[in-house]
Structure formats: structure tokens, C-alpha cells
Amino acid sequence: MPASQPRSRARDRNNVLNRAEFLSLNQPLKGNQESRSSSRKQSGQAGAAGAQNANPKERRQSQQLPEEDCMQLNPSFKGIAFNSLLAIDICMSKRLGVCANRASSWGGARSMINLLGITGHGIPWIAGTLICLVKSSTLAGQEVLMNLLLALLLDIMIVAGLQKLAKRKGPYDVNPGLLDYLTMDTYAFPAGHASRVAMLSKFFLNHLVLAIPLRILLVLWALCVGFSRVMIGRHHITDVLSGFVFGYLQFRLVELIWMSSNTCQMLISIW
């Protein structure tokens, strides 16, 4: 043991790292650590003071941000279902837009589909109703025609108002025609043609005596006109379906405010 101690001491003396100029390499600088810890404390205190001096609105916003992020990352079941149905509607409407342009798969039939759509437009129906009203000589015919004219005008105003509120674009970038601008049918939801043909078919089925084949043809005409708007890319499927619903509701509204024969005669005399 006594011989080993002098050897260890001699080894320590010969070790270069034990010299005074190399001691700083072996030992951490206490001053630097203290200065770093003090600077961290000062920055923490400054941050706390800044947070205390911050606006209450900013603090509320910073507290609300994590909740908003959680709401976006964890949407509700209703939101997921609505977005899924919307995506399916857009995808199916684009697939069924076979006449959206000349380069489409059924582009050659676009003119025929447009002609079918004109049969459900508001302007030809209003003009035809006015001509029939002028030529009509029976009180019953004038009563039906006056109420039909009221239904057509209500349809244009209601659909135009709903489209201005929704402002939904169609599945394809198809410019509205001149007749569409005249009836303010420039947006997609709800489909004006669909609401009109649904209202007209229900009106004729209730107030005209038609044979069964004509009734079937009337319903088929309404369905074809409605879905022709999807084929040319002007409306989504949900736009057409909602148009059918609104058309039926408009028919019920006209039935509630049905004008009597005397009221029709008075309006015709004023006109």
C-alpha cells in the first residue's frame, strides 16, 4: 500500500490535464451555468409579465385556439355525414354530366337535351298561358289559366330568391342562357326547371281531365326535364331533387291561395 500511493501521486503529477491551464476543460464553468439559469429565469419572468400585460381578448383567443383545432380534427358525426353526402353528390353529378360540353361522351346529343330543357322553361310557359288566357272564352278556363299564371310567377320569384341565398355553383362551368338570365335562374340550387315541371305536372294532374297514358307521359316528361339539367352540367342531383320538392310545395301554396272565378274576372277586366 505505501508503495502504491507514491506511484499514484507521481502519475497525477505527470498527467497533463491536472495542470492549472487545463483545469477548465475538466470542470464545468459555474459562472456560465449561473448566468444561463439567471437568464432563463429573467426570460420566464419577462414572459409572465408580458402575458399578464396582454389583452384579455388575446388571452381568450389563445385559450380558444386549441379547442378550435380539436373541433377541426374531431368533427361531429353530422358534419362527417353531410360532407360525405356532398362529396357523393358532386362525384355522381360530374359522372352524369355526359352532355356538359361538345367533348363529352354524349356531346352530340347536347342540342337535343337543351331543347328538352326549353320545354320546362318559365318564359315559354308564361307566354303560352297569356295567349291561351286571351283566347279563352269560358269562366272555368280563365280561372284555371289565371291561377296557372300566378303559379308560374310565384315559381320564378321563389326560385330566384332561394338561388340568391344559396349561391351554389353547378358541377361544370356552364354559362346560363339568355332565357335563364331573364328568369334569374343563374345558380344551381334549387333547379328552376325541376321545380317548374313538378309544379306544372301536379297542377295539370289535379285540374285537367287526362287519360292514364297522358298522366304517365306527363310524369315522365317532368322527370326527363329535371334530370336533363344534370346531363348538361347545370345542376347537381340534389339541386334537381330539391327542385321537385319545392315545386310540389309551390303547388300546395297555389292551392291555398286559389283565386276564385270572380277575382279572376276582376283582374282580367283591369288588365
Q: 3-class SS at 211?
A: coil
Q: 3-class SS at 168?
A: coil
Q: For this structure, is 235 an active site residue?
A: yes
- How many residues does the structure list for the chain? 271
Closest-CA residue to 251 (of 211, 214, 201):
201
pLDDT of residue 48: 47
**Contact status, residue 142 vs residue 265, Cβ threshold 8 Å:** yes
**Contact status, residue 125 vs residue 153, Cβ threshold 8 Å:** no
pLDDT tens-digit map of 132-188: 998 888 898 899 999 999 999 999 999 999 999 998 888 888 777 777 888 888 888
> Rg of the chain's alpha carbons, rounded to an integer?
39
H/E stretch holding 3 reads none
Residue at 114: amino acid letter = N
Kindly name the residue from 121, 193, 207, 236 that is annotated as catalytic: 193
CA angle 101, 103, 108 (to 5 degrees): 75
Task: Say what the pTM is.
Answer: 0.69
Closest-CA residue to 174 (of 221, 230, 118, 130):
230
**Residues of the chain above pLDDT 90, percent:** 36
Which of the 8 DSSP states describes residue 109? G
pLDDT tens-digit map of 46-104: 444 554 554 555 555 545 544 444 445 556 777 788 788 888 888 888 888 888 887 77
More confident residue, 45 or 82: 82
Residue at 195: amino acid letter = S
Residue at 205: amino acid letter = L
* CA distances from residue 24 to 13, 17, 108, 139, 144 in whole angstroms, order as listed: 17, 9, 89, 116, 107
More confident residue, 48 or 252: 252
Q: For this structure, is 236 an active site residue?
A: no
